[in-house]
């Protein structure tokens, strides 16, 4: 269990019970890393001179600013173990806005922004929170200039559109206090401005200064979610997208093939916390399980065949006959170079779907299939592609050639040719070494 933390910056004289490493020896390793960023400190340190607490803190700030040292601190949000130590380190060693100037996204090298309260306003939305009582809260860091309440702000995500900031809130935990203004280095919240987006650069007037986009890690863990009840089903979509708006490392998608809602996060714990938020904030309960594998179907060979749809049950009948050739379609083709008369004799036109790498080729000659029925044939093929042939999975990497057919002057119609196209694809697909 995580019970306590031991500082290697100011190690205790007595090693606490349960501590596996010697804090004193780790302190020596840490000091070696700190003095590397300051030559004067390094000389004194190597000569055996003792360094003061203030000098060590100053050297640590320089090392952090130079990127040669990255502090790692352990805390627990649930038990608050390590939180006081984290605050102490931030208070002593955290960089001020003047220690690490920001650079805009303009040009190859960008432009350095001076943290000047009298300069032009440059701020950025770095976090979004949707509170059950307050509504949407956009957390903003000010890099330059002064952000006032009721400011008219330009947003980088919507060129030409301005919004009114309304009240500017100083947020300390669950407490909020309206303030008149915020300057460089300040982090404040703008409440109930729906147009603000995560990553927006905020300026005034025609100033189009833009901060670099915020980089977020790609989520790696996915789980399928489904509502526990009919009531939850009505609310789940809005609740999930609310979390997605707050958390850029949480993604929601509906798998077109498996028809499942799949959520992606950084870890199972991350997704568990999102599930708890659904329950406590949005009153939505869900069942989670591993997502289904979206298998696909295709063919490894080629085959030809036909299907005749004939229906007579009194009154108007139905008649349609189509002949197909189905073959494997290589991935990565250039359609305009691949679908030529040399490869497909008598080709008239083709429709290519790059998402599934599927092609429908019209090679009909002599009007054996009237032109007005060919779209219906293709529609039947597309429906079968979505339905699958072998096990109900989406078909991909296939060429379907329509090269012959028959019609009836009275009984042929679009419905008949759609059915014929669907069934002919199913039959010929199974002859072309399906996998």
**pLDDT reported for residue 314:** 67
- Is residue 84 domain-shared with residue 106, that is, in the same domain? no
Q: Cα dihedral sign for 424, 430, 431, 435?
A: positive
Please tell me the distance from the alpha carbon of residue 422 to that of residue 121, in angstroms, as a whole number. 62
- The one-character DSSP state at 378 is H
**134 inside domain:** yes
Instruction: Give the tokens for residue 4.
Output: 């306590």
**56 inside domain:** yes
Which of residues 269 and 54 earns the better pLDDT score? 269
Q: What value does the mean pLDDT take over residues 161-173?
A: 89
Looking at 93, 124, 147, which one is the last position of a domain? Answer: 93
Contact 426, 327 (CB under 8 A): no
- Is residue 305 domain-shared with residue 423, that is, in the same domain? yes
Q: Cα dihedral sign for 153, 155, 158, 159?
A: positive
* Secondary structure (DSSP) of 135-199: EEEEEEEEEES-EETT-EEEETTSTT-EEE---EEEEETTEEEEESEE-TT-EEEEES-TT--TT
Rounded to an integer, what is the distance from CA 257 to the centroid of its chain?
19
- Is residue 252 domain-shared with residue 367, that is, in the same domain? no
- Is residue 144 domain-shared with residue 171, that is, in the same domain? yes
- The one-character DSSP state at 299 is B
Looking at 93, 120, 143, which one is the last position of a domain? Answer: 93
Residue 95 has pLDDT above 90, yes or no: no
Domain that holds residue 89: 23-93
**8 inside domain:** no
- Is residue 55 domain-shared with residue 119, that is, in the same domain? no
Give the total number of structural domains in the chain. Answer: 4
Give residue-wise pLDDT tens across range 218-241: 999 999 999 999 888 889 999 999
3-state secondary structure of 292: coil
**139 inside domain:** yes
Looking at 36, 63, 93, which one is the last position of a domain? Answer: 93
- Is residue 195 domain-shared with residue 239, that is, in the same domain? no
- Is residue 46 domain-shared with residue 108, that is, in the same domain? no
Please tell me the distance from the alpha carbon of residue 320 to that of residue 309, in angstroms, as a whole number. 5
SS (H, E, C) 180-194: CEECCCCEEEEECCC
- Is residue 240 domain-shared with residue 343, that is, in the same domain? no
Say if strands 394-395 and 296-297 run parallel, antiparallel, or are unpaired: parallel
Q: What angle do CA 401, 367, 374 make, to 5 degrees?
A: 50
- Is residue 420 domain-shared with residue 371, that is, in the same domain? yes
**215 inside domain:** no
CATH code, 198: 2.40.30.10
**137 inside domain:** yes
Run of H or E residues at 248? none
- Is residue 197 domain-shared with residue 138, that is, in the same domain? yes
- Is residue 346 domain-shared with residue 423, that is, in the same domain? yes
**5 inside domain:** no
**pLDDT reported for residue 57:** 85
**213 inside domain:** no
Alpha-carbon separation of residue 243 from 171, 230, 260 (angstroms): 20, 21, 18
- Is residue 318 domain-shared with residue 402, that is, in the same domain? yes
**pLDDT reported for residue 8:** 83
Give residue-wise pLDDT tens across range 263-309: 999 999 999 999 999 999 999 999 999 999 989 999 999 999 999 99
Please tell me the distance from the alpha carbon of residue 309 to that of residue 330, in angstroms, as a whole number. 31
Where are the extended beta strands (E) located within 296-426?
Answer: 296-297, 302-311, 318-328, 349-353, 358-362, 394-395, 398-406
Residue 354 has pLDDT above 90, yes or no: yes
């Amino acid at each position: 269990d995580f019970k306590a933390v031991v500082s290697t910056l100011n190690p205790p004289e007595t090693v606490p019970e349960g501590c596996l490493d010697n804090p004193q020896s780790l302190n020596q390793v840490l000091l070696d890393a700190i003095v590397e960023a300051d030559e004067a400190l390094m000389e004194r340190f190597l000569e055996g001179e003792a360094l003061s607490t203030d000098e060590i803190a100053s050297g640590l700030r320089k090392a952090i600013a130079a990127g040669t040292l990255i502090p790692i601190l352990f805390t627990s949000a649930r038990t608050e173990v390590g939180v006081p130590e984290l605050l102490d380190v931030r208070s002593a060693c955290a960089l001020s806005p003047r220690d690490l100037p920001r650079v805009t996204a303009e040009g190859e090298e960008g432009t350095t922004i001076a943290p000047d309260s009298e300069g032009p306003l440059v701020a950025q939305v770095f976090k979004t929170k949707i509170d059950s009582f307050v509504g949407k809260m956009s957390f903003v860091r000010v890099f330059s200039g002064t952000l006032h309440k009721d400011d008219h702000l330009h947003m980088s995500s919507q060129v030409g559109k301005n919004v009114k900031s309304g009240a500017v809130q100083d947020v300390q935990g669950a407490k909020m206090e309206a303030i008149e203004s915020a300057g460089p280095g300040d982090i404040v919240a703008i409440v109930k401005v729906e147009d603000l987006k995560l990553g927006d650069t905020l300026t005034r007037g025609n100033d189009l200064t833009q901060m670099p986009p915020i980089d977020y890690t790609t989520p790696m863990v996915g789980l399928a979610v489904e509502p526990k009840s009919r009531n939850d089903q009505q609310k789940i979509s809005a609740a999930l997208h609310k979390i997605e708006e707050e958390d850029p490392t949480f993604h929601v998608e509906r798998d077109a093939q498996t028809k499942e809602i799949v959520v992606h996060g950084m870890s199972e714990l991350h997704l568990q916390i999102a599930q708890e938020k659904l329950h406590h904030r949005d009153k939505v309960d869900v069942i989670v399980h591993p997502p289904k594998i979206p298998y696909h179907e295709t063919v490894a060979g080629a085959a030809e065949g036909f299907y005749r749809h004939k229906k007579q049950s009194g009154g108007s009948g139905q008649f349609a006959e189509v002949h197909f050739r189905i073959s494997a379609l290589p991935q990565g083709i250039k359609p305009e170079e691949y679908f030529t008369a040399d490869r497909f004799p008598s080709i008239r036109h083709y429709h290519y779907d790059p998402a599934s790498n599927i092609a429908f080729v019209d090679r009909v000659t002599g009007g054996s299939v009237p032109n007005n029925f060919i779209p219906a044939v293709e529609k039947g093929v597309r429906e079968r592609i979505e339905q699958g042939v072998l096990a109900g999975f989406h078909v991909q990497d296939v060429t379907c050639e329509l090269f012959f057919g028959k019609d009836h002057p009275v009984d042929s119609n679009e419905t008949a040719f759609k059915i014929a196209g669907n069934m002919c694809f199913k039959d010929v697909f199974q002859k072309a070494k399906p996998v």
